[in-house]
Amino acid sequence: MKSYNSFNVARQQVLEAAKIFNLDDAITEFLSKPQIEVNFTIPVKLDSGKTKIFEAFRIQYNYARGPAKGGVRFHPEETVDTIRALACWMTWKTAVVDLPLGGSKGGVRCDPKVLSNSELERLSREYIRAISPLLGVDIDVPATDVYTNPQTMAWMMDEYETINKRHSPGVFTDKPLQVGGTEGRRDATARGGIITVREACKAFGFDPTKEFAVQGFGDAGQRAALLHKEMLGGGKLVAASDSQGAIYNKNGFDPEELVHHKLKTGTVLKYPGAKQIPQQELLELDVEILYPAALENAINVKNAESIKAKIVCELANGPTTPEADKILFEKNVHVIPDILASAGGVTVSYFEMVQDKSLFFWEEEEVHKQLDKKLTLAYNRVCEAMKEKKVHPRLAAMLVGVARVAQACKIRGWV
């Protein structure tokens, strides 16, 4: 299978949108590169007394529309190009949902599974010591991402406040409620995806009460399985997968019981009544809705022709390759692209920033109401662009995002 560099894919998407808008060379080049990029090393003393050096990154891709916003990942295979791509996509994601934010992303190349809790705390604090001058509620606001969590954000926030000697909860989001976090954040990514599926069903006549499958039964995948029936009035979860394998039952699984099994055993495998199937087979099942919530490039030129789902709701970042996008569009598979489908997380993170700034916190019902409003408007705007320009949904979403960022850059007089 063809190997993809994530940032090359992201750049190609920008260039495709710029060509349709006939943007000039200067703004096209400007939107194709990060504004600020930092690559650094972090020395961390391990519990053994030895010091280990970790490579780390923080990239602020674009902040024309507001302070940069993006998560911090702890991953053993982290690369600068992955971080560049994710910061790029975050720029369009915040613009598509019309948030007054830019896009950023950070990461540390490490294996958090082999680090103790105290080692993770020291790593988190050292990361902030290294980039503290680059952060701020009006500069760049980190959040959770792969293998980081609310506790990570609490450590990072505390370190930032210690360095700057002032209370600054809004500089980090996805924090625990006790230190300025918001209600409604934990299921926000999945909830946003379900809202876009609901709107797609309204717009194109799909049936959300039929079968659906979840590829990647991590946090977002689990919550999507739980919320699907609640928010869409039905639906049968017939397949789910994680890094250890995939399971199937034509009669369906109880999402709550499957989540309980996953949390208890660490995998979806060996769930009572489940048949183990190849990972690839899950993607090709004849279901109404498929939720890719795991790896990049899962849907590619080798399997796109075999995709039978009517809707592909991308809760993962970059699960569909450019060639596969075109194949799915020609097959009338409705792809809800990641920069729209998974925008619920950053949207509620923005709500957290607003609440931290005002020191007035919303009830969960209000968070859900405002998220629904934002994602519904965003989905419908992308649909309008899709129909106006006669393009596939991902390109339509890119057109909305790129147009808004390009306009901000031009108004500022940057290009």
Long-range Cβ contact pairs of 295-304 (< 8 A, separation 24 or more): 295/216, 295/319, 296/4, 296/6, 297/4, 297/321, 298/215, 299/324, 299/328, 300/1, 300/2, 300/324, 301/1, 301/2, 301/327, 302/1, 304/328, 304/331
Q: How many Å apart are CA 387 and CA 357, to the nearest integer?
A: 39
Residues with catalytic roles: 105
CB 161, CB 130: distance < 8 Å = no
Nearest CA to 198 out of 367, 26, 375 is that of: 375
Alpha-carbon gap, residue 187 to 103, rounded angstroms: 21
Strand arrangement, sheet containing 289-292: 275-277, 245-253, 236-242, 211-215, 289-292, 311-313, 334-336
**Closest by Cα among 82, 338, 298, 405 to 196:** 338
**CB distance 282 to 303 below 8 Å:** no
Q: How far is Cα 173 from Cα 349, in angstroms, rounded to an integer?
A: 6
Assess contact for 13 and 394: CB atoms under 8 A.
yes
